[in-house]
Amino acid sequence: MTCSHITSCPLFPLFTLKASLSVWQVHYCNGQFETCERLKLAKAGARVPPNLLPNGKSLDPALLKR
């Protein structure tokens, strides 16, 4: 089973390296998506920071695609 947000996750376009994105997708989107901190916040109706990673850590804003 996959995450219901797999086609619309705003985090995906932030990755310039598709290999890096693939690592997150395999573990969270196509795996243990129930543990995704982004999904938990979204389900709770809370604002999801754009740089929040599925593991709850924040992506360095300097690394975000411009």
CA distance 42 to 38: 6
pLDDT band at 55 (very low <50, low <70, confident <90, very high): very high
- Three-state SS for 1-66 is CCCCCCCCCCCHHHCCCHHHHHHHHHHHHCCCHHHCHHHHHHHCCCCCCCCECCCCCECCHHHCCC
Close Cβ partners of 42 (under 8 Å, ≥ 6 residues apart)? 5, 48
The predicted structure's pLDDT at residue 64: 61
Structure tokens at 65: 């695609």
pLDDT (0 to 100) of residue 18: 84
What global pTM score does this model have?
A: 0.80
